[in-house]
């Protein structure tokens, strides 16, 4: 196996790649690879490890020796899968590595929004508590999660992890039937059409892949259907929500708050509607929900097993 890793720095410098190196018999590593460098760097290799670098039809056509693409992530939208199939290239990805850390981040966003944690912290730092005429501040409404309804859209490994943790807060779990799914019952939870879920969810948490069917699945119409104090959490994929519509909904108080770990463009070099500084009760984190060292090391171990299965 002759292997090259095109963007090794995306896993961080604190993970140990030894497991993959043992299976591959060594790896040529590049911290990052620009689109212009891809063709040259994959030439002569039968195995390419990649996280976010794009591999196009042209790359497959010009590299007949290429046999395996190991994506060190779950999403494979950066790979031309049709071209890979046509050229006999197997594409492997990593699943079920981030249940604990992504669920933890999702719940952290939920709690921070429900308790208005950042708003109160800013008030204290601005001296508003010191100026208060009583012992506390109560200028931001706090939501108690016990007894509230958590709607989960995408009940895979991550959605299940969030449901487990939300039960500890006494929340009621209802699943949303995303496009192409039927209603019914899953693990004892009702799964209902989105138009039924949106009006009853106090918190809506998204855990779907981005597809043609799920793109902008939450837009202006869907936001209007939600409760005025509802919270929207997205630690899944940018593009599931119409960001301009969400920014507008938050400014107008159509929903109560939102926590996002993903945006349509990452990094957001060209700006984003959700990065405006006048949007209330919004938390945006930099696609970091997956990035605990434990989860990143788990990616390495699963990638090694993937490669061993075909060696």
Q: Which are the catalytic amino acids?
A: 237, 266, 287
Residue 50: phi, psi to the nearest 5?
-155, 150
Q: State how far the Cα of 181 lies from the Cα of 290, in Å rounded to an integer.
A: 26
Which residue, 162, 153, 156, is CA-closest to 103?
162
Q: State how far the Cα of 139 lies from the Cα of 103, in Å rounded to an integer.
A: 29
Q: What Cα–Cα distance (Å) separates residue 275 from each residue in 124, 272, 304? A: 23, 5, 38
Q: State how far the Cα of 229 lies from the Cα of 226, in Å rounded to an integer.
A: 8
Counting Cα atoms < 13 Å in the Cβ hemisphere of 180 gives 7
Dihedral sign for Cα atoms in the order 177, 182, 183, 188? negative
């Amino acid at each position: 196996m002759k292997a090259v890793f095109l963007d090794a720095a995306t896993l961080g410098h604190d993970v140990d790649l030894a497991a993959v190196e043992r299976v591959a018999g060594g790896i040529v590593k590049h911290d990052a690879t620009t689109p212009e460098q891809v063709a040259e760097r994959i030439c002569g290799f039968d195995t390419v490890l990649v996280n976010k670098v794009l591999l196009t039809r042209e790359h497959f056509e010009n590299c007949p020796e290429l046999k395996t693409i190991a994506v060190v992530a779950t999403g494979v939208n950066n790979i031309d899968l049709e071209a890979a199939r046509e050229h006999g290239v197997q594409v492997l990805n990593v699943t079920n590595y981030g249940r604990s850390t992504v669920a933890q981040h999702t719940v952290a966003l939920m709690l921070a929004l429900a308790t208005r944690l950042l708003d109160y912290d800013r008030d204290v730092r601005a001296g508003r508590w010191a100026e208060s005429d009583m012992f506390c501040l109560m200028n931001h409404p706090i939501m108690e999660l016990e007894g509230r309804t958590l709607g989960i859209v995408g009940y895979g490994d991550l959605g299940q992890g969030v449901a487990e943790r939300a039960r500890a807060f006494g929340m009621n779990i209802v699943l949303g039937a995303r496009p192409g799914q039927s209603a019914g019952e899953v693990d004892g939870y009702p799964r209902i059409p989105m138009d039924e879920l949106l009006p009853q969810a106090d918190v809506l948490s998204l855990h779907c892949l981005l597809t043609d069917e799920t793109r902008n699945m939450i837009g202006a119409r869907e936001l209007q259907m939600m409760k005025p104090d509802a919270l929207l959490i997205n630690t899944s994929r940018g593009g599931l929500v119409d960001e301009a519509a969400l920014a507008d909904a938050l400014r107008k108080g159509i929903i109560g708050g939102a926590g996002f770990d993903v945006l349509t463009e990452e990094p957001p070099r060209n700006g984003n509607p959700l990065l405006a500084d006048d949007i209330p009760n919004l938390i945006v984190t930099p696609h970091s929900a997956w990035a605990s060292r434990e989860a990143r090391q788990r990616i390495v171990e699963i990638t090694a097993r993937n490669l061993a299965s075909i060696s």
